Amino acid sequence: MHKQAGRAALALLGVAASAVAALAQPAPDTISAIRARGQLVCGVSINAVGFALPDTRGNYAGLDVDTCRAVAAAVLGDANKVKFVPTTAQVRFTALQSGEVDMLARNTTWTLGREAQLGLAFASVNFYDGQGFMVKQSAGVTSARQLDGATVCVQPGTTTELNLADYFRANRMRMTPVVIEQPEEIRQAFRSGRCDAYTNDASSLASFRAAEGKDGEQYILLPEIISKEPLGAVVRKGDWRFFDVARWSHFAMVTAEELGITSKNIDSFMSSANPDVQRLLGRSGEFGKAMGLDNDWAVRIIRQVGNFGESWERNITPLGVPRGINALWTKGGLQYAPPIR
């Protein structure tokens, strides 16, 4: 018994020593690393129309791209100083954990497991989404409840795969998953009829349909949304100053929309007597300095990237996706920024 107690005590001492060693490690300084590099490295999706898509010159555009660009504008003063790294669902978290990228903005769902177990923190939600189903019009299916016995294309290593199994189990239906990792291979399987339905976040399905052009008219989104999928920016835990910058860069865009400040009219607000405007634009207070930034950090974001509504109109509206719950809270939506004060 004494030997066991001794071993237990040694084990506890070992754990304590490990904890002390972990605390002794210097906290990461992502902002300094970005400045030394002269570039933000941001993990994004692979060819996701409306979220992250390069043109023929390699210039990226999309809602997630704007999330990255806003952080670059805040930290470096230039929204164009971003290196975009396309990441798959399978490697995205490893890329962030290892430091290959500074942050992720790639249609990634905020969940307890991911935040508590992976050493990551979700800084913002730029798209409140939900998982849906797409079928061909020729199938004559109008509801997900009609998919009993169907084959369903799904990507592995995602919340989508788990939600799919849960939905069919809860509704006592059968299905055969067709599990394919690469997004384009999934889409090709769906096009060719290898699966009866394709499931993903509704935003991703809309992006795929838009990318198909006229051919996309043969596909329909079924009305059921079977999950909550808050998508947003992800950073490593431990560097809370960079977390603040990533979070408040999004909130600055939301606040600007709420106040009616756009990339085109921002100069007319510089002399505003509105205290909320003054604080956002760095005319009063030292809120930028509190994050290790200049006080005009939000001005740079608004000038170079725009407010959240401008980004939505530029990237998501062409997909035919309404603002819905992504509208400002003042218009019945969920986009709500805490006050800058």
Residue 41 lies in a domain: yes
Q: Which of 175, 197, 228 is the last residue of a domain?
A: 228
Q: For position 171, which CATH number holds? A: 3.40.190.10
pLDDT of 21 higher than 80: no
CA atoms within 13 A on the CB side of 298: 36
Residue 4 lies in a domain: no
Residue 2 lies in a domain: no
Same domain, 123 and 146: no
Same domain, 237 and 111: yes
Same domain, 72 and 88: yes
φ/ψ of residue 54, rounded to 5: -85, 150
Residue 154's H or E segment, with its range, is strand 150-154
Q: Which of 161, 196, 228 is the last residue of a domain?
A: 228
Are residues 221 and 134 in contact, defined by beta-carbon separation less than 8 angstroms?
yes
pLDDT tens digits, residue range 171-180? Answer: 999 999 999 9
Percent of the chain with pLDDT over 70: 92
Beta bridge partners of 40: 82
Q: Residue for token digits 């009829």?
A: 193
Residue 184 lies in a domain: yes
Residue 101 lies in a domain: yes
Could you tell me the residue range of the domain that residue 194 belongs to?
130-228
Residue 209's H or E segment, with its range, is helix 202-211
Q: Which of 167, 194, 228 is the last residue of a domain?
A: 228
Same domain, 158 and 199: yes
Residue 262 lies in a domain: yes
φ/ψ of residue 236, rounded to 5: -75, 145
Residue 288 lies in a domain: yes
Are residues 208 and 53 in contact, defined by beta-carbon separation less than 8 angstroms?
no
pLDDT tens digits, residue range 190-239? Answer: 999 999 999 999 988 998 998 899 999 999 999 999 999 999 999 999 99
Rounded to the nearest integer, the mean pLDDT of the chain is: 91
Same domain, 82 and 221: no
Same domain, 181 and 199: yes
pLDDT for 288 = 95
Same domain, 219 and 151: yes
Dist CA 105 CA 143 (whole Å): 31
φ/ψ of residue 279, rounded to 5: -70, -40
The pLDDT-based confidence of 27 (bands split at 50, 70, 90) is low
Total tally of structural domains belonging to the chain: 2
Residue 117 lies in a domain: yes
